[in-house]
């Protein structure tokens, strides 16, 4: 009798563990769409078993806030996920003069596809207040934030209510550069250059941080074969992604002389879905917000020469073909 009870208890424990492992990750996506942001949003929306998207919060970055907010709602419409609220947030950086990346993403923030005003509107309220309210009411360490643009919204929320940090499980940032060098200046990557002061606020909060910098995203490049792989999915979502990427990658291919281009923000979602495809190490990171040639630089102490405690996990390697296999498989789930 005792043996059967013990076996039953072990089975129930195993089932509970399986259920816990299978529970989707609570996720807020903070973003400035942007071509690669839209690809990332579609990948996330096609993965409801792993990712429970609580909201999409938008920020000025690649283009102005009105355009990033429209593009986020377009991605939501294309993904048939109008159940996800989209909140507009900060329209300018904390301190610096706003800059945009229309030369990379086009004047509308999307190249290769026509844009229109989506049917579903923005959610009422502001993204910063949404973060304050949601993270403040959350269970401890329960909500992940995928940070795909400048970190302004979260920095403003933390400045308003510092203890919301307790509700955050992890912040996964697309941003920064070390071995690769920058893409907006020789030293700085765009998202950090656009608002380094915000990145400093988030870094100082003590929240668990993972960075996917240009060091890894510039290793996860498109190719003719990979674009054909995506096109072979042969649905509306895959065609949108192919059309967007074919136009978007031209800038980086010309700048760097590479045969393909990166899909930066999609790497964050891939990391959340398949962390085993990536590797890196815990390091000490600082952000340079001083005026001058290193403004916006991420100083990544990869070799630990400063003997400072680690404050971020810095991802340096990734499986390029694995990213495009994952993207193909998930886009096939969408209309």
Instruction: Compute φ and ψ for 95, nearest 5 degrees.
Output: -130, -50
H helices then E strands: how many in the chain? 13, 9
- Residue 264 known to be catalytic: yes
Q: Cis check for the bond before 34: say yes or no (omega within 30 of 0).
A: yes
**Residue 296 Rama label (left phi>0; alpha psi -120 to 50; beta):** left
Catalytic residue among 218, 264, 284, 313: 264
Alpha helices in 57-194 (DSSP H): 65-78, 102-105, 127-137, 152-160, 190-194
CA distances from 182 to 19, 97, 112, 191, 271 (A): 42, 19, 25, 10, 22
CA 267 to CA 333: how far, in whole Å?
Answer: 19
Cα→Cα distances 331→36, 39, 171, 327, Å: 14, 10, 25, 6
Distance (Å, whole) CA 305 – CA 223: 37
| Catalytic machinery residues | 264
């Amino acid at each position: 009798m005792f043996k059967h009870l013990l076996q039953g208890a072990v089975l129930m424990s195993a089932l509970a563990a399986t259920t816990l492992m299978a529970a989707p990750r609570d996720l807020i996506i903070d973003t400035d769409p942007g071509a690669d942001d839209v690809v990332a949003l579609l990948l996330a929306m096609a993965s409801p078993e792993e990712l429970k998207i609580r909201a999409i919060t938008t920020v000025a970055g690649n283009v102005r806030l009105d355009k990033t907010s429209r593009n986020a709602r377009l991605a939501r419409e294309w993904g048939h996920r109008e159940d996800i609220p989209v909140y507009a947030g900060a329209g300018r950086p904390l301190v610096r003069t706003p800059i945009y990346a229309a030369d990379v993403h086009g004047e509308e923030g999307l190249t290769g596809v026509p844009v229109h005003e989506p049917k579903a509107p923005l959610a009422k309220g502001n993204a910063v207040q949404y973060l304050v309210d949601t993270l403040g009411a959350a269970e401890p360490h329960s909500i992940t934030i995928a940070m795909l643009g400048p970190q302004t919204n979260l920095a403003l929320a933390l400045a308003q209510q510092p203890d919301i940090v307790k509700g955050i499980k992890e912040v996964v940032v697309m941003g920064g550069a070390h071995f690769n060098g920058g893409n907006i200046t020789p030293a700085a990557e765009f998202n950090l250059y656009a608002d380094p002061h915000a990145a400093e606020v988030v870094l100082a909060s003590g929240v668990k941080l993972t960075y996917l910098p240009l060091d890894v995203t510039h290793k996860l490049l498109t190719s003719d074969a990979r674009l054909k792989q995506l096109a072979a999915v042969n649905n509306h979502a895959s065609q949108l992604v192919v059309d967007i990427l074919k136009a978007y990658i031209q800038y980086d291919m010309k700048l760097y002389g590479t045969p393909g281009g990166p899909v930066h923000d999609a790497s964050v979602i891939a990391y959340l879905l398949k962390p085993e495809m990536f590797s890196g190490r815990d390091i000490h990171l600082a952000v340079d917000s001083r005026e001058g040639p290193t403004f916006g630089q991420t100083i990544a102490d990869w070799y630990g020469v400063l003997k400072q405690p680690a404050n971020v996990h810095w991802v340096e390697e990734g499986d390029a073909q694995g990213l495009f296999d994952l993207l193909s498989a998930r886009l096939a789930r969408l209309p």
